[in-house]
Structure formats: C-alpha cells, structure tokens
Amino acid sequence: MVTFTLSSVSVSLGRRRAVQDVEAILEPGALIGIVGPNGAGKSTLMRAMLGLLPLAGGEIAIDGIPVARLSRKQMARQIAYLPQGQTLHWPLSVERLVALGRLPHMAPMQRLSAADLAAIEDAMARADVLTLRDRIATELSGGERARVMMARALAVGAPALLADEPLAALDLGHQIEVMTLLQREASQGALVVAVLHDLSMAARYCDRLLLIDGGRLVADGAPMEVLTVDRLRSVYGVEAMIDNSGPAPVIIPVRRC
C-alpha cells in the first residue's frame, strides 16, 4: 500500500506560485478527489506528487521516502498515472496498448511473462474492455478509449492510481462507469486520487475531497463537509443549491455572485 505525505508543499510555474503550503496525508483504501476552480493548482499539485515538477518548498513523501529520492522506475511501479487529454497516435490493438502498462516491470527488449499476461487480462476485465481486445484503439469511441486507457493504468498493478480529469469529454453514462471503477479500486485497498470538475460526481463517489483555491488547500474532509454553500460562493463565485433529498447529493449552480 502507498501513503502520500504532503508537508508544506509549494510549486512555482515560472514566476507564479501555483501551489502554496499544502499539507495533507493521503492514505490507501480511499477515493480522494481534488477539486477547485480552473487554474487553482489541482493538476500542478498532482504532477508534483508524481515527481514531474520540482518543489519550490516543502516535501512530498511516499511511505516516508521523499519523492525526489525515488527513481522513475520506482515511481512507475508504485503509482499508475492517468493524465488528462491523452491522444492516441499509433494504430495499436487494445490488448497491445494495455500491455504498455507493464513496461515499468520489464527490462529493455524483454518479452511479456506469464505474470505480465495475467496482469493485462485482469486489467482489461476490471475496466470491462475484454470484448475490445482486438479492436484498433484509434478507432474507438471516446468512452471506449477512456476505459482502455484506464485498463492500461490498471495493468501497472500499482497500489496507487492518480487520474487527472478522468471524466473530461465523457458523456454521463461513461462518467458513471469511470467513477464506479475508481470507487471499486479504492474499496479494494488502492489509494485513488482524481482531479475532478463535476462537483456532484465528486460528492457522490469520493470518500474525501481536497478543495484547492489559488494554490492553497482551503478545505479537506468528507464531501458534504467541504462543499458548503458558503465555500461554493467564496471559491467558485457562484450561488448554488445543494439537494440532499435523493440517493446522492446534487450540486446545482444557480448564478454568479
């Protein structure tokens, strides 16, 4: 299992401080959403957690070891990453694309082992893409492609999964499929962290939310403790209604403040 410890984390992009003094401990067995308005620093924070951006201050550690001390291969084996806006350029079959998730476990020119093949099969089953295995990935619909890219991340077999805007450009049905999959991975013991914009989806599926505004962590806790009318007003600049009458909360923006 993987635990992230963020201690006074700050990140600069050029001259701008994009993340400022973020403190949090992210433990396994939970689906944790990072939410906030555009430009708040959500994706920047996630990329820093992956060691893809240098820190301007503070420290990020995985199981007590600073990320800066971990090799790229060590990071890739511990954390599966699903970046936003992935574009497929090569006409690979779905099965071959999912198999790329096993690269962190392989030496150069090494063939797939029985364990690799089993991991690929399991990942395709969990993402419900077994029936697509022989299809060309570039010919898939947006929803199919999203599930295949999720399968590639799952094939890593990492104890943590970080997904940056996994719902982008998906219709409602496919959004539900992706969130259900992320929730299931967390319920089976993984640490799952997702950058999300849909607050109703975040409130319905996530165990915990980190609300980022102006690079700072302004709230951290259970979804409906974080997403209050007052916070939606101060952070997003909207008057909103929160409907808790149904099986899941619904957040309805009404107007700009």
Domain-located, residue 227: yes
What is the pLDDT at residue 1? 85
What is the pLDDT at residue 180? 94
What is the count of structural domains for the chain? 1
Mean pLDDT of the chain: 94
User: Helical H runs in the chain?
Assistant: 42-49, 72-78, 94-99, 114-126, 142-155, 172-187, 199-205, 223-226, 229-231
- Phi, psi angles (nearest 5°) of residue 168: -60, 130
- Distance between CA atoms of residues 214 and 23, nearest Å: 15
Most confident by average pLDDT, 29-43, 140-154, 162-176: 29-43
Domain-located, residue 76: yes
* CATH number assigned to the domain comprising residue 250: 3.40.50.300
Measure the N-to-C terminal CA separation of the chain; round to a whole number of Å.
43
3-state secondary structure of 55: coil
Nearest CA to 203 out of 89, 8, 35, 50 is that of 35
What is the pLDDT at residue 84? 84
For residues 14-34, give the mean pLDDT: 97
**224 pLDDT more than 80:** yes
What confidence tens digit (pLDDT) does each residue in 73-103 have? 999 999 999 998 777 778 999 999 999 999 9
- Distance between CA atoms of residues 102 and 3, nearest Å: 22
List, as one string, the DSSP characters of 20-53. EEEEEEE-SSEEEEEE-STTSSHHHHHHHHTTSS
Domain hosting 57: range is: 4-86+158-256
pLDDT grade for 217, boundaries at 50, 70 and 90 = very high
For residues 231-242, give the mean pLDDT: 95
What confidence tens digit (pLDDT) does each residue in 152-199 have? 999 999 999 999 999 987 888 889 989 999 999 999 999 999 999 999
Domain-located, residue 143: no
What is the pLDDT at residue 60? 98
For residues 216-230, give the mean pLDDT: 97
Q: Which two tokens stand for residue 98?
A: 């999912």
24-48 burial code (b ≥16 CB/10 A, e <16): bebebebbbbbbbbeebbbbbbbbb
Most confident by average pLDDT, 22-36, 70-84, 156-170, 242-256: 22-36
3-state secondary structure of 14: coil
What is the pLDDT at residue 14? 92
Prediction pTM value: 0.94
What is the pLDDT at residue 133? 96
pLDDT grade for 214, boundaries at 50, 70 and 90 = very high
Domain-located, residue 120: no
> Angle 172-187/114-126 helices, nearest 10 degrees?
130
What is the pLDDT at residue 247? 87
3-state secondary structure of 3: coil
What is the pLDDT at residue 246? 85
What is the pLDDT at residue 9? 98
What is the pLDDT at residue 93? 96
The alpha carbon dihedral of 145, 250, 46, 25 has a sign of negative
- Distance between CA atoms of residues 51 and 67, nearest Å: 6
Place of tokens 């820190």: 55
Domain-located, residue 246: yes
For residues 47-74, give the mean pLDDT: 95
In eight-state DSSP terms, residue 232 is I
Answer for the pair 166, 81: CB distance below 8 angstroms, yes or no: no
In eight-state DSSP terms, residue 236 is I
State the amino acid at position 256 in one-letter form. Answer: R
